[in-house]
Amino acid sequence: MHFQSVTFDLDGTLLDTIADLAEACRRMLEEIGEPPRSQAEVHSFVGKGMAVLVERCLTRERAPTAERLHQAIESFKTHYAAVNGQFTQIYPGVLEGLQAWRESGLKMGVVTNKPGMFTEALLERMGMADYFDVIVSGDTTANKKPHPEPILHACRLFGVRPDRNLHIGDSENDIHAAHAAGCPAFAVPYGYNEGRPVDSADCDALVSDLLAAYRQALTFKTSHDK
C-alpha cells in the first residue's frame, strides 16, 4: 500500500453526533433566552468547530456580540458535556473499516475540529479510543481545518511524510485541509459538509464507507508511484 498512516475526521465520518449537538444547542438557546433551532439547521451549522456552531445558532438578522457569544459558548459546553455520546450513532461500515485499517498495520489517528474536552470522552464512550495512535482535536493546534496544521501535526506525531498519509472525511473542510497539507483525501457522502453534498470532483476518491475506503486505498497510486 502507498500509505503509512491514515487520519479520520470524527463528526460526520466516524460518528453521527447530530442528535447530541442539536440537544446541546436546544438547551443552550433555552437557557440564554434565544429561539430554538431545528435539528436540520444544526446539521447545516456543523463543520468549523464549536464556536462557529454556536455563533451560527445565534445569528439571525445580525451576528451576536462578543459578550453574548461567550455566554452562549460557555452554556453550550456545559450542556454538551452532559449529552456527549448519549444519542450518538456509529455509522455503518465504520467498525469494519477501522478493524481492516488496524490489521493493515498502518498508524491511525483522528483529526477533528471538536474541542479536546469532548473528543476523547466521546471516543471512550463509543468504545473506539483504542483504535487510534494519535488524536488531534480542535484546540490541539492554533488552527482548525480547513487549515492544514492539524493534519500536519498528526503526520509529525506519526513520523510520516504527509504524502504517505491518507485523510478521510465528510466535508470540503477535510478535503481542503488534506490537500493543503499534501495528503490525498477520500470523502464519504453521508456526513454533514455544512448542509451541502460533498463533490466527488474535489476529493481523490468518494467512497461509500470506511471499509470501501480501505479497499480503495489498496490500489491507490499517486503520480510518484505511477
Instruction: Give catalytic residues, as residue numbers.
Output: 9
In 3D space, the residue among 158, 96, 151 whose CA is nearest the CA of residue 132 turns out to be 158
Burial class (CB in 10 A: 0-12, 13-18, 19+), 159: exposed
Give CA separation, 4 vs 159, 163, 167, in Å. Answer: 10, 9, 11
Contact (CB, 8 A) for 158 and 51: no
In Å, how far from its chain's centre is CA 194?
12
How far apart (Å, rounded) are the C-alpha atoms in residues 85 and 19?
A: 9
The upper half-sphere exposure of residue 87, i.e. CA atoms within 13 Å in the direction of its Cβ, equals 12
